[in-house]
Structure 1
Amino acid sequence: MLMSVCFLCISRAKFALHIVTLVYITNLSHVFEERGPIDLEAKFEPNLLNTAIYLLGLSQQVSTFAINFQGRPFREGIRENSALYWGLVGAEAVAFSGATDFMPDLNRWLQIVEMADS
């Protein structure tokens, strides 16, 4: 019974944290970039909002997947599964590169806009 309550509280806390960070990033992006009218028929144009949401969502998905991975003693550990481990590391490297513009060519290919320093 106690395990069920703990799981319920952790799941709800994780959900609340993800929602709060998404709302915070959305509001913060509007401070740095004006929001114009939305044209649903227009061609996709990268902007700060969709870059920030993409990077945050990618980080959240990778961390959630890594944390929820059922390793020892039921399965092999996450570091023993080298394809999974390096895939997660690579996905986080893409998020890091997108946030810091470490690999500008990759960011342009992914249509990630450059973020201002201030």
Structure 2
Amino acid sequence: MHSDRQLNHCEHWTEVCDIADIVPNTGVCALIGSEQVAVFHVIDGAHNETRVFAIGNYDPNAEASVLSRGLVGSIGERIVVASPIYKQHFDLQTGECIEAPEHSVSAYPARVEHGKVWVGA
């Protein structure tokens, strides 16, 4: 599960879906309030644990809401998603666009609790 360091600071959590509804190492798009959020279910092979991440779904490089459809992978120690259009990589913990930091997206705290995925705002 995602680190609890930032989870305690969220005042509002939204239930997104069951963790089983997201195929491991892929993402889905969720509408939270008026924001499209890309939510990813990642199996961390090094630690053999399930982790969830949430970042903005809008790719400012492509000007399209497509990040939830990107390919999950890693660059060094960073878990990233590659945008399906121009292939820029976004860090799933921070939302930073590695190739163009000025096009970074928001990152949201995410957790799994009783089999449900929750995203904080």
Task: Compute the TM-score of the two structures, normalised by the length of structure 1.
Answer: 0.26
Task: Compute the TM-score of the two structures, normalised by the length of structure 2.
Answer: 0.26
Which of structures 1 and 2 has the larger relative contact order (alpha carbons within 8 angstroms, sep 6+)?
A: 2
Structure with more helix by fraction: 1
Larger Rg: 1
Structure with more strand by fraction: 2
